């Protein structure tokens, strides 16, 4: 199976003309031959002639990895938007694929940067309603993960933590909903929690397909329902609600209800832990959205 043991994943891959494919990992880098590099190679093998752009956030692999933990997400989104706009091969549009936290970052790209146009957005284990917990944080960066837990527990919504810790920017505390809505620098903005930005809504609705992949045995994302845009019901952290039951859908702040009615939302599920899938599953279920 294709799996990288890392903690929140932020890397970006892009495929154009035929497609653009973007992946974002925390604790990984754009060009790791065992993870994102392997997926880039696999797509190129499966779709001859495809143009795949792997986005590096920073000037080196080391910077790319560090930025997945510590660079302001809004700055990352702007950085990606600039790269996409400057690539002549993407002018006709592209498909984008995000892995884990990269998925919601790419949604920020489509909502904020309509040129060049994103055609399909494929979210693989993304957390579109954020996370409330870090149940497992393995790999070489365990000391960083321990520090991140400490920061999130002590004050996820303080200015310093929000500005300098990527995971805090999609930390969604259902027990402190007002704090989340007021101080979340990234997630509350792209989820229209404070005001409804009609441009965000229009741009997201311009997608042909918004594909969301949920891993049924996921031990890294809490709650796993966030991978299908679900979350805890407000005011508690036990009972869950689906996207269709949530205010973001019933009020249609992002156009998701209208997209759902038009058949633009695709919900896929697979057994396995976070980001664990076979090449066969990928080819059967995701590759069609890259054509």
Contact 12, 57 (CB under 8 A): yes
Q: What single string gives the DSSP state of each residue in 25-52? A: -SSS-TT-TTTHHHHHHHHHHHSTT-EE
Cα 45-47-53 angle, rounded to 5 deg: 85
Question: b vs e for 147-175, b when ≥16 Cβ sit within 10 Å of the residue's Cβ?
Answer: ebeebbeeebbeeebbeebbbbbbbbbbe
Distances (CA, A) of 253 to 14, 81, 202: 28, 23, 10
Indicate which residues carry an active-site annotation: 100, 218, 274
The torsion angles phi and psi of 268, rounded to 5 degrees, stand at: -115, 145
What stretches of 113-220 show up as alpha helix (H) in DSSP? Answer: 142-155, 159-164, 177-183, 187-190, 198-205
What gap in Å lies between CA 100 and CA 1, rounded to an integer? 16
- Which 3 state secondary structure label does DSSP give 240? strand
- Which 3 state secondary structure label does DSSP give 188? helix
Residue 84 makes CB contacts below 8 A (sequence gap 6+) with 14, 20, 90, 94, 109, 113, 116
């Amino acid at each position: 199976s294709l799996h990288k043991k890392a903690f929140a994943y932020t890397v970006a891959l892009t495929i154009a003309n035929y497609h653009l494919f973007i992946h974002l990992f925390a604790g990984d880098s754009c060009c790791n031959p065992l993870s994102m590099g392997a997926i880039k190679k696999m797509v190129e093998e499966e779709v001859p002639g495809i143009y795949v752009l792997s986005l590096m956030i920073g000037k080196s692999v080391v910077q790319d990895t560090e930025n997945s933990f510590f660079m302001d997400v809004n700055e990352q989104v702007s950085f990606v938007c600039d790269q996409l706009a400057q690539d002549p091969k993407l002018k006709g549009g592209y498909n984008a694929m995000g892995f884990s936290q990269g998925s919601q970052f790419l949604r920020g790209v489509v909502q904020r940067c309509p040129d060049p146009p994103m055609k399909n957005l494929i979210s693989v284990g993304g957390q579109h309603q954020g996370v409330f917990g870090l149940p497992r944080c393995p790999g070489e960066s365990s000391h960083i993960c321990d520090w991140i837990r400490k920061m999130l527990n002590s004050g996820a919504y303080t200015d310093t933590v929000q500005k300098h810790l990527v995971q805090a920017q999609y930390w969604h505390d259902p027990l402190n909903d007002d704090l989340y809505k007021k101080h979340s620098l990234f997630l509350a903005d792209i989820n229209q929690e404070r005001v409804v930005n009609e441009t965000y809504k229009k741009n997201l609705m311009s997608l042909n397909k918004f594909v969301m992949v949920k891993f049924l045995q996921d031990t890294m994302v809490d709650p796993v329902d966030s991978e299908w845009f679900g979350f805890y019901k407000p005011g508690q952290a036990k009972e869950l609600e689906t996207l269709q039951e949530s205010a973001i859908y019933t009020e249609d702040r992002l156009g998701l209800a209208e997209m759902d009615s038009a058949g633009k939302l695709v919900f896929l599920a697979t057994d396995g832990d976070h980001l664990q899938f076979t090449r066969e599953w990928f080819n059967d279920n995701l590759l069609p959205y890259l054509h």
